Amino acid sequence: MKVSRLAAHLVAVLGFSISLAANAQTVLKVGWTNTIDSHYGIAMTTFGDEIAKRTNGRYKLQYFPAGALGGEREMLEAVQLGTQDLIITSTGPVGNFVAETRIVDIPFLFRDYAHARKVLDGPIGQDILAKFPAKGLVAISWMENGFRHVTNSKKPIVTPEDLKGMKIRTMENKVHMEAFKAMGALPTPMNMNEVFTALQTGTVDGQENPIPVILANKLYTVQKYLSLTSHVYSPALLILNKGLWDKLSAADKASFQEAAKIALVANRKKVNDDEANGIAVIEKAGTLVNKVDLSLFQKATASAYVQYNKDYGEANIKKIQDVK
């Protein structure tokens, strides 16, 4: 009697733990710098919903928007270590981890959105993603930030001359810093979490970001001028810790990849929408918006291109430019 009761108890305990295992849920921490309703937030909530659906809830994303886990460089370090599972980030600091990404940060490299998307979705973009695992990271997909424009508190930037001596916050990205130096500005690298206050207090005169980022962070509320310089396309990346990726079953890996594809569509759609509607929002708030002759700015980066050709290979740069 006693023995069979023990056996029944064992069976019950065993059954319980088996059902626990079946329902076990892994919660993955994902961080980013923009708000939950931004082009990054929409990408990650879509990604989270798709993963939950495709894995029957075995994987759940926990969202940390608006820099809650730190700046992009800090978060990348955490993803590399595995104390954070995922990040959606601009390529800003990524070149410090995977140097091969720097080539896509070159100004005036991409003609337009269609060109950039085609290159990143094609073999050139996919070859860059293949460089991540050697650094303890898995870049599951390109994402998008948009073409970057200069905002400032002093005057409209109409020609590169207007940038002379201006303190412009850039990302912690040497390719971008070289471009701003070539255009005569004083590039001041800083993580995104500090930008709003730096603009508000005048620590820097201006900054540069795409419309979706200017909107999400309400940067126009602390800047008088937005000049549509479109000086560089700013890609983003969805990156996971490699240890996490290696533990996923083949089926789960496929689910994550499919989820990322759907997230990318949502991300690009939001960038398109912000591009279509954002300037009106910014103007309505009283910020003056001006267009520029892009060719003047392109010419002003010529000395930086000498360095880019040396660092990233003239032929490699041409290969990207030649994608039609």
The span of 45-53, 54-62, 87-95, 265-273 binding ligand EAX (CB under 6 A) equals 87-95
CB of 43 to ligand EAX, least distance (A): 11
Q: Residue 220 in contact with residue 151, Cβ under 8 Å?
A: yes
Per-residue burial over 294-310, b = 16 or more CB atoms within 10 Å of its CB, e = otherwise:
eeebeebbeebbeebee
The reply on whether position 213 binds ligand EAX by CB under 6 A is yes
- The continuous run of DSSP H or E covering 240 comes out as strand 225-241
Q: Residue 207 in contact with residue 169, Cβ under 8 Å?
A: yes
CB of 33 to ligand EAX, least distance (A): 4
Instruction: List the one residue from 76, 171, 238, 264 that touches ligand EAX (CB under 6 A).
Output: 171
Binding mask 61-80 for ligand EAX (x = CB under 6 A): -----------x--------
Residue 170: strand pairing partners: 189
State how far the Cα of 308 lies from the Cα of 8, in Å rounded to an integer: 72
Show the 3-state SS of 76-96: HHHHHHCCCCEEEEECCCHHH
Binding mask 247-286 for ligand EAX (x = CB under 6 A): ----------------------------------------
Instruction: List the one residue from 90, 255, 267, 287 that touches ligand EAX (CB under 6 A).
Output: 90
CB of 249 to ligand EAX, least distance (A): 31
| Nearest in space to 239 (alpha carbons), one of 102, 94, 108 | 94
Binding mask 172-211 for ligand EAX (x = CB under 6 A): --------------------x----------------x--
Site size toward ligand EAX (CB under 6 A) is: 12
Nearer to ligand EAX, 72 or 105 (CB): 72
Instruction: List the one residue from 33, 101, 152, 267 that touches ligand EAX (CB under 6 A).
Output: 33
| Nearest in space to 146 (alpha carbons), one of 197, 182, 94, 110 | 110
Nearer to ligand EAX, 76 or 279 (CB): 76
Nearer to ligand EAX, 89 or 227 (CB): 89
CA angle, 173 as apex, 97 and 72 as ends, to 5°? 60
Strand ranges in the chain using DSSP code E only, listed in sequence order: 26-31, 59-64, 86-90, 137-152, 167-170, 186-189, 206-210, 225-241, 288-291
Side chain identity at residue 47, one-letter code: F
Between strands 225-241 and 288-291, the pairing is parallel
Give the number of other CB atoms < 10 A from CB of residue 118: 15
Nearer to ligand EAX, 272 or 316 (CB): 272
The span of 54-62, 85-93, 124-132, 257-265 binding ligand EAX (CB under 6 A) equals 85-93
Of residues 224-243, those binding ligand EAX (CB under 6 A):
234
The span of 2-10, 84-92, 157-165, 177-185 binding ligand EAX (CB under 6 A) equals 84-92
State how far the Cα of 220 lies from the Cα of 75, in Å rounded to an integer: 26
Query: What is the binding site for ligand EAX (CB under 6 A)?
Result: 33-34, 72, 89-90, 92, 145, 171, 192, 209, 213, 234
